[in-house]
Amino acid sequence: MSVCNTTGLSLEQQERWPYLYRHLIEDIEVPDLSSIELTHIETLDNELSDLIKKIGDAKATSRESLTKHLKGLLFRRFGKNAVVEAFGSTVTNLSIGTGDLDLCLSFKGKQPAKVLKKLSGLLHEEGMENIQSIPKARIPIVKFKDPRSGLDVDISLDNRLAIHNSEMLKSYAQEERLQRLVQMVKYWASRRGINNAFEGTLSSYAWTLLSIQHAQLVQPPLAPNRQKDAKSNQVSIKGATYDIGFNNERYATENNQSLASLLISFFERFATRWDWENMVVSIRNGEALTTKAKKWQHTGPLPLEVVTGADDGWMEHVMPIEDPFNHEHDLSRVVRAEGAMSIQNEFMRIIELLSEGTSWKEICEPVMELEEEPNDLFHDLRSTPANEIAQRLEELRANLEVVETQIRELVEERQNSNELLDLLRGGMREARNVRSDRQQILSELRPLSMKVQEMREVRDGINQRIAIPTNRIKQEMMRIFEKLTAEVDIFNAPNLGVERGDFAYFFELQAMYEASLKSNEAHQEFIRLRREQNQEYRALKKTKKREEDVLTRLVESNPTLEGIHPNPKSVKEFQKNAKLLQRSINEQYSTKHELRREIGRLEAWQRISKRKQRDSDGHRHRTQRNQRSRRPRAPEVNINEVRQKASSGDSISLNELDALLSKGGIASIGSNDGQKQQQKQRQSKKRSSRKIDIRQGRTRGRKESRK
């Protein structure tokens, strides 16, 4: 690999940035665009006018339709608190026909969690392509492509300041030449690949601000400073306050420069005369600010040092452009080293090509292959035989029929899948309710079982210590009590030891009796708890039966659900299947759209061809009929001379005889009465013809009354 000793650029980099490379290694004088010939400016102006008519905004209808569809989609997903607004070239009237669709998604209340994730999933369900979520950007954004319209879409979160920016840009676009200037600059930047902030170059918004700054600086000014002396309008966005006030009145400019002249001076200003190191683009100031006053001096390495690997530091304020509302936002913060080199290279290239009188078409030659609509819709059909077109039409109609059949089948399958999903969700809700009842029963059954066990242990513990029934203990205790309280026979009185034994026995029986009563109470509580436990067990069995009934009803309503248990896993599988079906349906609808479009194109060409053939055949038939009906004209004759010849007996030719017969015949010879009579008839015809009104179909003048 050959590396330049002067710049450090590799051979590949030299070929990538050839114009900039030549200026780096050679002492090349920058062309003076102010000396361009007037004829070239006029030619360029005509070319720009033709291009503007051509590009228009071909995607306006698609953009409007897609915006409406996405708004409905987001409202259904996030509810009425969601606010969806369009901004950018869609609303500023500065679109070049191929612009993206920019939407802002914000919320009236609290923003839901994981919005970007939910949004990406929703777009996947809708069959969108190339979905890219960028949550860590300064403004979180989701980028994707709509396969039907072919539009690239950016949905940013809470980017309300951009909406206000768009409103002000729309006011600047009231001046038609400024509008066209912005469109041509954006057209050039897009085709040369230097208008994509996500690829490290300036955004279309940044190129728009450059164009407005130029319009403010030309003499006389083409555009005013709409923020100067404007009424303050403070808004708070994400905790920061911005003044979004601007003057929306139409500006009466005295500038009469042509679009071509404005475009040439634009490139001359920013390619050669603008000091990017010390000047900041600022349309809210109406002229450049100094980087020192803004504290936006360039820091870090130069772009050349980064691309050559001499320094890997972070660059800041490479091409400082101030946002008109957020004064701390430099739009060049996204510009990477390769992007800065590409912009400089394109500036050098266009200065050189403009000085050479190169056409705008060649100047804007795309750096990458673009899918452009052909100028002639039937360019590929003009040389195709009619029978081949008819055959293609039959094939396309057959394919369309197949696709429509597939769509019907897929839609029916999706409906069935949705019905199954609804049934499964309903069954899952019922089963969830049953399981909730079961959990409630189990939660009550656990402490109940513990109480049963506790009462059993109390009862069995007492019964193990006291084997005598309670009534026997009571009888024995009453007998001892009577013995101890009966009258004492002094002659037969028990000794002290016997009495002590009886009292001890009585107290023991009393304790046994109390314990026996507790055992009886525990037993009764045990019986009650067991009955309650049995009731809970029966209720638990009923819940199981209810769950079985739910499954039975599900299968009866749709036998397809046999063997499928209503749980979250099953529901998730059905949801996944529904999403896949929806994606397939979207793909088939895209195919159907393409087929119908091609069928319409071929049918239109057939109608045009038949009309041309019919017109051609009619012209040929008329020509042949005229040729058949045309006969050689006889030489003109003087009818008076013929009459004199006939009256004197001279011979006359057949042509003269024919003229004589057509002018009154033999009776008109020797008399001018016939001639006078014919003259009167001719005059009468002329008068009557003058009275006919072809618009009314009747004679003019007073109507004759009916008799």
Q: How far apart are CA 157 and CA 139, in angstroms?
A: 6
Strand pairing category for 240-243 and 234-237: antiparallel
Helix (H) or strand (E) holding 689: helix 673-691
Helix axes 259-268, 204-217, angle to 10 degrees: 100
Residues 525-546, mean pLDDT to the nearest whole number = 83
Report which of residues 427 and 315 the model is more confident about: 315
Residues 280-309, mean pLDDT to the nearest whole number = 93
- Looking at residue 374, its pLDDT comes to 47
Domain boundaries, the chain: 31-363, 407-568, 639-691
- Report whether pLDDT(394) > 50: yes
Q: Is the dihedral of CA 302, 307, 309, 315 positive or negative?
A: positive
pLDDT digits (tens, 9 = 90+) for 13-67: 999 999 999 989 888 888 888 888 899 999 999 999 999 888 766 677 778 888 9
Q: How far apart are CA 401 and CA 414, in angstroms?
A: 20
Residues 114-139, mean pLDDT to the nearest whole number = 85
> Looking at the whole model, is its pTM more than 0.75?
no
pLDDT digits (tens, 9 = 90+) for 593-632: 788 878 888 888 888 888 877 777 666 666 666 665 555 5
Q: How far apart are CA 49 and CA 466, in angstroms?
A: 117
Report which of residues 8 and 680 the model is more confident about: 8
Residues 114-142, mean pLDDT to the nearest whole number = 86
- Looking at residue 347, its pLDDT comes to 96
- Report whether pLDDT(699) > 50: no
Smallest Cα–Cα separation from 303: which of 603, 686, 16? 16
Q: What percent of the chain has pLDDT over 70?
A: 82
pLDDT digits (tens, 9 = 90+) for 189-237: 999 999 988 889 999 999 999 999 999 999 999 999 999 999 999 999 8
- Report whether pLDDT(586) > 80: no
Q: Which two tokens stand for residue 395?
A: 């094939």
- Report whether pLDDT(535) > 80: yes
- Report whether pLDDT(559) > 80: no
Report which of residues 510 and 206 the model is more confident about: 206
Domain 31-363 in this protein, CATH class? mainly alpha
